[in-house]
Amino acid sequence: MSILTPGTLVVSCQALADEPLHGSSYMAGMARAVVEGGAGGIRANSPEDIRVIRSSVGLPIIGLWKRDYEGYEMYITPTVQDAIAVHEAGADIVAIDATGRPRPDGMSLQDSIAVLKDRGISIMADISTFEEGLHAAACGADYVSTTLAGYTPYSEGPIPRLDLVARLADRLEVPVVAEGGIWTPEQAALALERGAWFVVVGSAITRPQLITAKYRAAMDRSARTGA
Protein backbone atom coordinates (compact mmCIF):
# COMPACT_ATOMS: atom_id res chain seq x y z
CA MET A 1 0.00 0.00 0.00
CA SER A 2 1.39 3.39 -1.00
CA ILE A 3 1.88 5.97 1.74
CA LEU A 4 1.25 8.63 -0.90
CA THR A 5 -2.31 8.87 -2.16
CA PRO A 6 -3.23 9.20 -5.85
CA GLY A 7 -2.99 12.75 -7.12
CA THR A 8 -0.41 13.87 -4.56
CA LEU A 9 2.01 16.66 -5.46
CA VAL A 10 5.49 15.84 -4.18
CA VAL A 11 7.92 18.75 -4.24
CA SER A 12 11.65 18.17 -4.57
CA CYS A 13 13.48 20.41 -2.11
CA GLN A 14 17.09 20.13 -3.24
CA ALA A 15 20.03 22.41 -3.91
CA LEU A 16 23.48 21.26 -4.98
CA ALA A 17 26.66 22.49 -3.32
CA ASP A 18 27.29 25.16 -5.98
CA GLU A 19 23.77 26.64 -5.77
CA PRO A 20 22.73 29.69 -3.70
CA LEU A 21 20.17 27.84 -1.56
CA HIS A 22 22.44 24.94 -0.67
CA GLY A 23 22.17 24.11 3.01
CA SER A 24 19.80 22.16 5.22
CA SER A 25 18.26 25.24 6.83
CA TYR A 26 17.27 26.62 3.42
CA MET A 27 15.75 23.29 2.41
CA ALA A 28 13.81 23.00 5.66
CA GLY A 29 12.33 26.44 5.03
CA MET A 30 11.53 25.48 1.47
CA ALA A 31 9.80 22.34 2.70
CA ARG A 32 7.64 24.32 5.10
CA ALA A 33 6.75 26.74 2.32
CA VAL A 34 5.59 24.03 -0.10
CA VAL A 35 3.57 22.38 2.66
CA GLU A 36 1.67 25.65 3.00
CA GLY A 37 1.05 25.55 -0.75
CA GLY A 38 -0.48 22.07 -0.61
CA ALA A 39 2.36 19.63 -1.22
CA GLY A 40 1.64 16.15 0.06
CA GLY A 41 5.23 14.89 0.11
CA ILE A 42 8.85 16.02 -0.10
CA ARG A 43 11.76 14.62 -2.12
CA ALA A 44 15.07 15.44 -0.44
CA ASN A 45 18.76 14.80 -1.08
CA SER A 46 21.35 13.67 1.50
CA PRO A 47 20.97 12.31 5.03
CA GLU A 48 21.70 15.76 6.47
CA ASP A 49 18.88 17.50 4.59
CA ILE A 50 16.50 14.61 5.23
CA ARG A 51 17.06 14.78 9.00
CA VAL A 52 16.44 18.52 9.12
CA ILE A 53 13.37 18.36 6.88
CA ARG A 54 12.05 15.40 8.88
CA SER A 55 12.17 17.56 12.02
CA SER A 56 10.43 20.44 10.22
CA VAL A 57 7.48 18.84 8.42
CA GLY A 58 5.34 15.80 8.95
CA LEU A 59 4.88 14.78 5.33
CA PRO A 60 6.23 11.59 3.77
CA ILE A 61 9.79 12.04 2.50
CA ILE A 62 11.26 10.42 -0.59
CA GLY A 63 14.97 10.43 0.17
CA LEU A 64 18.01 10.02 -2.03
CA TRP A 65 21.71 10.74 -1.90
CA LYS A 66 23.43 12.20 -4.94
CA ARG A 67 26.98 10.86 -4.84
CA ASP A 68 29.77 10.73 -7.39
CA TYR A 69 31.79 7.53 -7.64
CA GLU A 70 34.82 7.71 -9.88
CA GLY A 71 34.31 5.71 -13.05
CA TYR A 72 30.53 5.39 -12.65
CA GLU A 73 27.70 7.42 -14.19
CA MET A 74 25.18 6.66 -11.45
CA TYR A 75 24.69 9.37 -8.85
CA ILE A 76 21.21 8.90 -7.35
CA THR A 77 21.73 6.67 -4.30
CA PRO A 78 24.15 4.45 -6.22
CA THR A 79 24.88 1.82 -3.56
CA VAL A 80 23.00 -0.24 -1.01
CA GLN A 81 24.88 1.43 1.83
CA ASP A 82 23.89 4.86 0.50
CA ALA A 83 20.25 3.75 0.49
CA ILE A 84 20.48 2.43 4.05
CA ALA A 85 21.93 5.75 5.20
CA VAL A 86 19.07 7.64 3.54
CA HIS A 87 16.51 5.40 5.23
CA GLU A 88 18.15 5.75 8.62
CA ALA A 89 18.09 9.54 8.24
CA GLY A 90 14.30 9.42 8.17
CA ALA A 91 13.19 8.85 4.58
CA ASP A 92 9.93 6.95 4.21
CA ILE A 93 10.79 5.93 0.64
CA VAL A 94 14.30 5.66 -0.79
CA ALA A 95 14.87 6.59 -4.43
CA ILE A 96 17.63 4.71 -6.22
CA ASP A 97 19.06 4.74 -9.72
CA ALA A 98 17.43 1.78 -11.43
CA THR A 99 18.95 2.21 -14.86
CA GLY A 100 20.94 -0.55 -16.51
CA ARG A 101 24.28 1.12 -15.84
CA PRO A 102 26.95 -0.54 -13.64
CA ARG A 103 26.51 -0.01 -9.91
CA PRO A 104 29.53 1.12 -7.84
CA ASP A 105 29.09 -1.66 -5.28
CA GLY A 106 28.97 -4.31 -8.01
CA MET A 107 25.49 -5.50 -7.05
CA SER A 108 22.67 -6.12 -9.48
CA LEU A 109 19.50 -4.07 -9.23
CA GLN A 110 17.56 -7.17 -8.24
CA ASP A 111 19.95 -8.02 -5.40
CA SER A 112 20.10 -4.40 -4.25
CA ILE A 113 16.32 -4.14 -4.00
CA ALA A 114 16.10 -7.52 -2.26
CA VAL A 115 18.59 -6.46 0.43
CA LEU A 116 16.79 -3.18 1.03
CA LYS A 117 13.33 -4.69 1.14
CA ASP A 118 14.56 -7.28 3.64
CA ARG A 119 15.24 -4.26 5.86
CA GLY A 120 11.71 -3.00 5.35
CA ILE A 121 12.74 -0.14 3.06
CA SER A 122 10.30 1.06 0.40
CA ILE A 123 12.02 1.64 -2.93
CA MET A 124 11.38 4.13 -5.70
CA ALA A 125 13.14 3.08 -8.89
CA ASP A 126 14.35 6.07 -10.92
CA ILE A 127 14.41 4.87 -14.54
CA SER A 128 15.02 6.34 -17.98
CA THR A 129 13.34 3.89 -20.39
CA PHE A 130 10.27 1.70 -20.65
CA GLU A 131 12.38 -1.47 -20.43
CA GLU A 132 14.11 -0.24 -17.28
CA GLY A 133 10.72 0.45 -15.73
CA LEU A 134 9.50 -3.08 -16.43
CA HIS A 135 12.72 -4.54 -15.05
CA ALA A 136 12.62 -2.45 -11.88
CA ALA A 137 9.06 -3.51 -11.15
CA ALA A 138 9.98 -7.15 -11.76
CA CYS A 139 12.87 -6.73 -9.29
CA GLY A 140 10.43 -5.65 -6.59
CA ALA A 141 10.49 -1.85 -6.66
CA ASP A 142 7.51 -0.30 -4.86
CA TYR A 143 7.34 2.69 -7.22
CA VAL A 144 8.66 3.32 -10.72
CA SER A 145 9.52 6.93 -11.56
CA THR A 146 10.47 8.52 -14.88
CA THR A 147 13.06 10.70 -13.11
CA LEU A 148 15.96 9.87 -15.42
CA ALA A 149 14.15 9.79 -18.77
CA GLY A 150 16.07 12.19 -20.98
CA TYR A 151 19.07 12.24 -18.67
CA THR A 152 20.87 9.07 -19.74
CA PRO A 153 22.83 9.00 -23.02
CA TYR A 154 20.46 6.43 -24.48
CA SER A 155 17.25 8.23 -23.48
CA GLU A 156 18.04 11.76 -24.61
CA GLY A 157 15.11 13.77 -25.90
CA PRO A 158 12.49 16.30 -24.87
CA ILE A 159 10.97 16.14 -21.41
CA PRO A 160 8.62 15.58 -19.66
CA ARG A 161 8.11 12.05 -20.98
CA LEU A 162 4.40 11.78 -20.37
CA ASP A 163 4.16 9.14 -23.11
CA LEU A 164 6.49 6.98 -21.02
CA VAL A 165 4.31 7.57 -17.95
CA ALA A 166 1.29 6.36 -19.91
CA ARG A 167 3.03 3.24 -21.25
CA LEU A 168 4.31 2.24 -17.83
CA ALA A 169 0.99 2.91 -16.12
CA ASP A 170 -0.70 0.68 -18.67
CA ARG A 171 1.66 -2.22 -17.97
CA LEU A 172 2.61 -2.05 -14.30
CA GLU A 173 0.69 -2.83 -11.15
CA VAL A 174 2.99 -0.75 -8.94
CA PRO A 175 2.44 3.03 -8.82
CA VAL A 176 4.07 4.97 -11.65
CA VAL A 177 5.46 8.38 -10.76
CA ALA A 178 5.84 11.29 -13.18
CA GLU A 179 9.06 13.21 -12.55
CA GLY A 180 11.49 15.14 -14.69
CA GLY A 181 11.01 18.32 -16.67
CA ILE A 182 7.54 19.18 -15.38
CA TRP A 183 7.49 22.98 -15.50
CA THR A 184 3.81 23.92 -15.57
CA PRO A 185 0.70 23.06 -13.55
CA GLU A 186 -0.90 21.94 -16.79
CA GLN A 187 1.84 19.36 -17.37
CA ALA A 188 1.41 18.07 -13.82
CA ALA A 189 -2.33 17.67 -14.31
CA LEU A 190 -1.77 15.95 -17.66
CA ALA A 191 0.64 13.51 -16.01
CA LEU A 192 -2.18 12.39 -13.72
CA GLU A 193 -4.46 11.98 -16.73
CA ARG A 194 -1.77 9.81 -18.35
CA GLY A 195 -1.80 7.46 -15.37
CA ALA A 196 0.73 8.82 -12.87
CA TRP A 197 -0.03 7.86 -9.27
CA PHE A 198 1.56 11.09 -8.13
CA VAL A 199 3.75 13.83 -9.57
CA VAL A 200 7.14 15.13 -8.43
CA VAL A 201 8.03 18.72 -9.29
CA GLY A 202 11.38 20.24 -8.38
CA SER A 203 13.12 22.98 -10.32
CA ALA A 204 9.91 24.74 -11.37
CA ILE A 205 9.09 25.38 -7.70
CA THR A 206 12.27 25.26 -5.65
CA ARG A 207 15.16 26.49 -7.80
CA PRO A 208 14.67 30.25 -8.18
CA GLN A 209 17.83 30.77 -10.25
CA LEU A 210 16.45 28.49 -12.97
CA ILE A 211 12.97 29.97 -12.79
CA THR A 212 14.42 33.47 -13.10
CA ALA A 213 16.56 32.42 -16.06
CA LYS A 214 13.47 31.17 -17.91
CA TYR A 215 11.75 34.53 -17.47
CA ARG A 216 14.89 36.38 -18.55
CA ALA A 217 15.33 34.22 -21.65
CA ALA A 218 11.69 34.68 -22.71
CA MET A 219 11.90 38.44 -22.27
CA ASP A 220 15.17 38.59 -24.21
CA ARG A 221 13.58 36.65 -27.09
CA SER A 222 10.64 39.03 -27.07
CA ALA A 223 12.93 42.04 -27.13
CA ARG A 224 14.88 40.67 -30.09
CA THR A 225 11.71 39.88 -31.99
CA GLY A 226 10.33 43.35 -31.43
CA ALA A 227 13.57 45.11 -32.33
User: What CATH number is attached to the domain comprising 34?
Assistant: 3.20.20.70
pLDDT for res 62: 98
Residue 156 lies in a domain: yes
CB atoms within 10 A of CB 144: 28
Residue 2 lies in a domain: no
Nearest to 114 by CA among 136, 87, 82, 92: 136
pLDDT digits (tens, 9 = 90+) for 26-44: 999 999 999 999 999 999 9
Confidence label for 2 from pLDDT (cuts 50, 70 and 90) = confident
pLDDT digits (tens, 9 = 90+) for 120-166: 999 999 999 999 999 999 999 999 999 999 999 999 999 999 999 99
User: What global pTM score does this model have?
Assistant: 0.96
Residue 160 lies in a domain: yes
Residues 6+ apart with CB under 8 A from 225: none
Would you tell me the crossing angle of helices 109-118 and 130-138 to the nearest 10 degrees?
40
Residue 3 lies in a domain: no
My answer on whether omega of the bond before 208 falls inside 30° of 0, hence cis, is: no
Percent pLDDT > 90 in the chain is 95
CB atoms within 10 A of CB 96: 28
Residue 80 lies in a domain: yes
Q: Which domain holds residue 222?
A: 8-226
Domain count within the chain: 1
